[in-house]
Chains A and B, each alone.
Chain A
Amino acid sequence: MSEEAKVGVFVCHCGMNIAGTINVKEVVEYARTLPHVANANEYVFMCSAPGQDLIRGGIKKNGINRVVVAACSPSMHEPTFRAAMAEAGLNPYLLEMVNIREHSAWVHSHEKKRATEKTKALIRMGVAKAVLLEPLEEFRIRMQPTSLVLGGGVAGLRASLDLAERGYKVHLIEKLPTIGGRAVRLGTIAHSEISGTDLLKPVLDAVESNPNIVTYVNSELEHVDGSVGYFKAKARRNPRYVNAKCTLCEECIRVCPVEVADEYDYGLSKRKAIYLPFKEAHPHIMAIDPVACNKCGECVKVCEPGAINLEEQPQDIEIVAGGLILATGYSPYDPPIGEFGYGRSDKVLTLFQLERLLDPEGPTNGKLAVSGSVPKNIVFIMCVGSLGITENAHPYCSRMCCASSLKNMIRITQLYPDTTIYALYKDIRTYARRDEKLYELATESKIKFVNFEKTPTVNVGQVGVSVQVRDATLQENLVIPADAVILAVGMAPSEDLSKVRSVVKVGCSPEGFIREAHVKLRPVEAPADGIFLAGAITSPKNVLETSMAGSATAAKASTLFSQEEYRVEPITAQVTEELCSGCAICIAMCPYGAISRKTVGEKYRAEVDRALCKACGACVAACPSGAMQQAGFKDTQVLAQVVAISERRTGS
């Protein structure tokens, strides 16, 4: 400090709230004896106008340069007193409030003498800290009211539309050659007759036509710099090789020599290396799969409009955004080969594959053909990949698979009344609004429900497939021959997450999804400011929940964008470079990714991004050399309070 600290102590009566228990006169006299205290005053209500005048007067006329207000909790009036100080020309962070109401008068009213002694001690501690306070400035960032949305599924689409409708610009980045995500692949939406594609078509159209949304398909996010208010992102648009001149004449498909499994149908059908991603692909043109394509050029020869360019190069895209919405979805649980016979027989399918089979516009035109024919006996094994039922399974419940499976079972009974269905379940969780009805309907139909405690096994033999299960209700072992086994697999964390996390500083929850700031109170925000999480990126969700999450992130992002400047509290961590050894211990301490290690010549030093620092101080306590400190809570400042618990006068 260049100047000597002159502390003004202001003790409030708060009417009788404090004065009724504490001997305020004694306290004020005591305060006058403390080192560096230039004057001490009392007033009935320090927060009132005359009370604030006392403080302002002290600053302007008596040269007070540190203010200690002994009164109620800072949660009540800290801003009031800070404002009063600022009006008088003193930095508002040179204030230390001492809580003598909630923490003394109100809780020790039966021990007035001891309460007064405690009050003196608290003020002594407050003064000791105030002497060492330093002026602080709020940090401000210009807000860029544009959002980057990563992922073009339900969550990302909903978020983009909501933001665009509010007038904010959106850059939507999608890895695949089309937006739509996985929901478009649903055969029928529960409680309706329409397919996922039909459900989402209006949304896809709206996104494509909205002038505030720029969509980049075939693109991936490669690098992000900056922080809330001003993110600088680099995305890469990978070549599609086909441009808007494409008329979908399909001549290219006819001549393409390469055939691969179609991922859209989860491997149940084949497509060529040049293909239309799906019926409602947006943009509505062909795409070339760069991995499958052998660059033979046959398609180019037959393309009349000249829409194909096999020399197309990747393009770098630079985007500046004030906030990021991550909506990269999930990956369906992929059973390892052999789990419940998966991969060992074409009679064993996943729930996602079943959806494709039941889609009237799917690979079998809606006909449930498994291994060539309509199955007479279908066994659904529920909870596959969830509830820890196998070694490879996740421990959590995947939420959407019960309703989804029941929906499909009922559909099958409607389409194929002669087919017998067994549903083997560890638990049935039809929690949502109309989903219990599905369960009722299912039990009323001919579906046979078998509860298991011990995980069933699937036997793939020469003759066919059978499922063994111990019925926990009947306490009997059953062997069920099956023409089809449907594994009701759940949602697992997306396989894209490691790439996402290498680009954006977000952490993982124990289950492997991206971790939200607070699982109940802040479910769509990442801990770091300006990063929002929509949809299954944080946990399994059905379409409704995903849609809600998308809207929620748009609302959160709007709150951010509506501020012209983003203000950061100044009590942030700061590193003194001359003392920093670059040991990097602090970096892992920060849940917000606010600290990074930079190189200075050949050495390393820690660096704090003030826009991200939330001022918890965890890095400060960990810093082994004391180079990292927290403004307003420096070691010296807190230790001054600690030393002052003792009556010993420490002098200046």
Chain B
Amino acid sequence: MTEKPKIAMYWCASCGGCEEAVVDLAEKILDVVGLVDIVFWPVAMDFKTEDVEKLPDGSITASLINGGVRVTEHKYMVEMLRRKSKIVIAYGACSSWGGVPALGNLYNTKELISRAYNEVSSLNNPEGASPQPSMDVDGTTLELPPLLPRLLPIDQVIDVDYYIPGCPPTADVTWNALKALLSGELPPKGSVIGASDKALCDQCPLNESKPDKVLIKDLKRPHQVIPDPAKCLLTQGLLCLGPATRGGCEALCVKARMPCTGCFGPLDRVTDYGAKAASFMASIIDLQDPEALEEVVDKLPDPVGTFYRYTLAASSLGGSVRGNKS
């Protein structure tokens, strides 16, 4: 009897959404489970790290890793899974480009800890406790893996074979990718799989409503507009990042009248997603006067958060370059 391919799934700095996305496969998950041998899946199964460490190198057919590398333990785990796996797949936005947690790269680790443990207004921490790398409790030493200086997408730590985009990847995208994986018909190494090669507008039902020239005179936040469901959201002044974002999700958010926030990440020819998104958005603001332009741009309270929401760790700079001055 031929052995079923071994699959491992692991989560680094993750919200758990990518784990749920796999569960979202619903009935299809039984097909998957039937076809593969899951050797590691901390959220759902009881295998331990040492079980994986004992496996021969390269014996896992594919590891799907979600979440970004934030603490030293993540680094250890992804390096270990890399050794043990033939194929490593970055599953979801965080492992592919850093995801939302990568926005933490705008601060150094001291600032992050201070904010979480000293500054947040809902805090109740009268002793000013903060995480320590180790602590003795009743004769046992407990350890916490320290934060790395920045959150990294896994491809800045190990060699990655494929990427499955999304925050989280949709069930369809996941299924497409798994099918490709299991059939062995895979594109060149380094490709994004399961999704489209074109930007979201290609799949968006509102694309045809666009006028000849897409130009806006003002920017609006979602709470300021009740969008007309039959007109492209960008033309209504909303910050829809669909044009800059890989398609594959079938425009789920737009169909619910919310502008795309870019969770499927950049297209293949783009080096820095946030810069490209900002470039196209700025380009269509139809104003010549610098002051009028500044006024419109002022309406964006957090351009980095808006344009790099999912991709900051994979951007050209990767995060803040303020240096050690706070």
Contact = CB atoms under 8 A, between A and B. Distances in A.
Complex: A in contact with B (CB within 8 Å)? yes
Interface of A: 578-585, 587-589, 597, 603-604, 618, 621-627, 635, 639
Interface of B: 197-202, 207-208, 210, 212-215, 242-244, 247, 267-271, 276-277, 279-280, 283-284, 286
Contacts of A622: 279-280, 283-284
B175 to A, nearest CB: 23
Contacts of B276: 624-626
B270 A625 contact: yes
Nearest 3 CB-CB pairings of A with B: A626-B269, A624-B244, A581-B199
B269 A587 contact: no
A625 B271 contact: no
Given A581-B247, A583-B207, A588-B213, A623 B198 contact: no
B214 A626 contact: no
Nearest to A588: B213
Of the listed residues B198, B247, B268, the one surrounded by the most CB atoms of chain A closer than 10 A to its CB is: B198
A623 B269 CA distance: 11
Nearest to B215: A588
Given A581-B243, A585-B214, A625 B198 contact: yes
B213 A581 contact: no
A639 B270 CA distance: 11
Contacts of A604: 201-202, 207-208
B279 A584 contact: no
A589 B214 CA distance: 9
Contacts of B283: 585, 589, 618, 621-622
A584 B207 CA distance: 9
Contact of B268 (A583, A585, A626): A626
Contacts of A585: 214, 243, 280, 283-284
Given A579-B268, A622-B279, A624-B280, 7 more contacts: A581-B247, A582-B202, A582-B207, A583-B214, A584-B212, A623-B280, A635-B269
Contacts of B284: 585, 588, 622
Contact of A583 (B212, B243, B286): B243
Contact of B199 (A587, A625, A639): A625
A579 B247 contact: no
A257 B284 CA distance: 56
B253 to A, nearest CB: 16
A583 B196 CA distance: 14
Contacts of B201: 581-584, 604
Nearest to A510: B288
14 contacts: A581-B198, A581-B247, A582-B207, A583-B243, A584-B207, A584-B213, A587-B212, A587-B213, A587-B214, A588-B213, A604-B207, A624-B243, A625-B199, A625-B243
A624 B279 CA distance: 8
A369 B88 CA distance: 94
B247 A627 contact: no
Contacts of A581: 198-202, 207, 243, 247
Contacts of B213: 584, 587-588
Contacts of B277: 624
B199 A583 contact: yes
B214 A624 contact: no
Nearest to B246: A625
A86 B269 CA distance: 32
Contacts of A618: 283
Contact of B279 (A582, A588, A621, A639): A621
B244 A584 contact: no
Among A580, A588, A604, residue most surrounded by chain B Cβ atoms (within 10 Å): A588
B199 to A, nearest CB: 4
A624 B202 contact: no
A582 B279 CA distance: 17
A583 B200 CA distance: 8
Contact of B197 (A579, A588, A621, A624): A579
Contacts of B286: 588
A170 B197 CA distance: 49
A622 B243 CA distance: 10
A364 B210 CA distance: 54
A623 to B, nearest CB: 7
Contacts of A584: 201, 207, 210, 212-214
A635 B283 CA distance: 17
A38 B271 CA distance: 30
Contact of A588 (B200, B207, B214): B214
Nearest to B203: A581
Contacts of A639: 271
A371 B280 CA distance: 61
Contacts of B202: 581-583, 603-604
